[in-house]
Structure 1
Amino acid sequence: MGRPTVTMASYPDYPSAQRAVDFLADNRFPVEHTAIIGTNLTLVETVLGRMTTVKAALAGAATGAWFGLFIGLLFGIFATANWFAVIIVALLIGAVWGAVFGAIAHAMTGGQRDFSSTSSLRAGQYAVTVDTDFADQARQLLTRMNWQAAPTAH
């Protein structure tokens, strides 16, 4: 199990929590005794667009081309003939097979997932925690950080 920790502060976004830890690091605090913990997690799936068999084939072709390029470079090292031709042929074969497999994989879903998306986790807030043994030192520094960031009254 981990070491006992104390929550020093909570922030509404990750950059704010990161700034606090960066301030500690700038002031020679042993930041290996800190953690940024996201709580109230939410899964966000951002829909990028409609996925068609053609788009799936194009995405597969791109992936296959990269794989073909890699294989072509490996074979090209040992080629006694034109190594450039070996790389191009491997790239083209990879792209064709990638397109075929991309189209087949999309067709096999039977229309159950006709969109592409990306997923990410987002936290509702971010807590900066510090090992208990270092809590007083961190509290003093973070108080100084908040004091420096406070607007001055005229």
Structure 2
Amino acid sequence: MTQAFTQTAFTNARTSPQLPTLPTGWPIGSYESYEEAQRAVDHLADNDFPVADVTIVGVEPMLVERVAGKLSWGRVLGGAAMSGAWFGVFVGLLLTLFTPGAGLLPILFGLVAGVAFSMVFAAISYGATRGKRDFVSQTQLVARRYDVLSQPRNAEKGRELLANLAARTHVFN
């Protein structure tokens, strides 16, 4: 019994996902944006290329944080009130559906409770920062370029297809 369990555990360990690994394959195209790399892979797929052999690799990754605006108590509490209102109305509608003859009271109660709780939690959260992060931002992981790799058995065909795509794109631009 122990030997069977050990063999099964070993087999499952080989087929289960492992630690991150470096990509393999030969470069068949290089692009300045992820959108261009996606378009290239889509072109390969449209031409019956075995895209399971393809990898898009972002080279020289950067974490970019774009600041969208300044935070203030008004903005924090206003956003929390809006968010809480939507959630409260949703809960109130559910209560109204499952409570015969309840009328609009559950919706109104849900709205008020949603706004109140959301504003309290937002105030506590924002107050805890003590002004150390008074802005709103969005974070993205981007790369300087995106390489499209293919396994060696199909790399030459992939290069030809992408060269045709580049020639067509260059003619139309």
TM-score normalised by the chain length of structure 1: 0.83
Distance in structure 1 (CA, Å) of the matches to 2:54 and 2:104: 51
Which residue pairs with 2:70 in the alignment?
50
- How has the CA–CA distance of structure 1 residues 19 and 59 changed in structure 2, closer, same or farther, with 3 Å as cutoff? same
Residues in 2 aligned to 1:36 and 1:91: alpha-carbon distance in whole angstroms: 46
Equivalence for 1:68 = 88
Selected match of 1:28 from 23, 31, 48: 48
Using the aligned pairs only, state the percent identity. 36
* Residue aligning to 1:101: 121
Distance 1:68 1:32, change over 3 A: farther
Unpaired runs of 5+ residues, structure 2, are 1-17
In 1, the alpha carbon distance for the partners of 2:122 and 2:134 equals: 13
Number of aligned residue pairs: give it. 152
The Cα of 1:125 is off from its aligned counterpart by 0.4
Distance 1:4 1:129 in 2: 7
Corresponding residue for residue 132 of structure 1: 152
Aligned to 1:120: 140
The root-mean-square deviation of aligned C-alpha atoms, in Å, is 2.3
What are the Cα deviations for residues 96-115 of structure 1, in whole angstroms up to 9, with x where unaligned? 21112112211121111111
Equivalent in 32, 48, 65 of residue 12 of structure 1: 32
Deviations 1:121-148 (A, max 9, x none): 2211011112333223212212222333
Whichever residue aligns with residue 71 of structure 1, its letter is: V
Match of 2:105 in 1: 85
In the alignment, the residues of structure 1 paired with residue 104 and residue 155 of structure 2 have an alpha-carbon distance, to the nearest angstrom, of 61
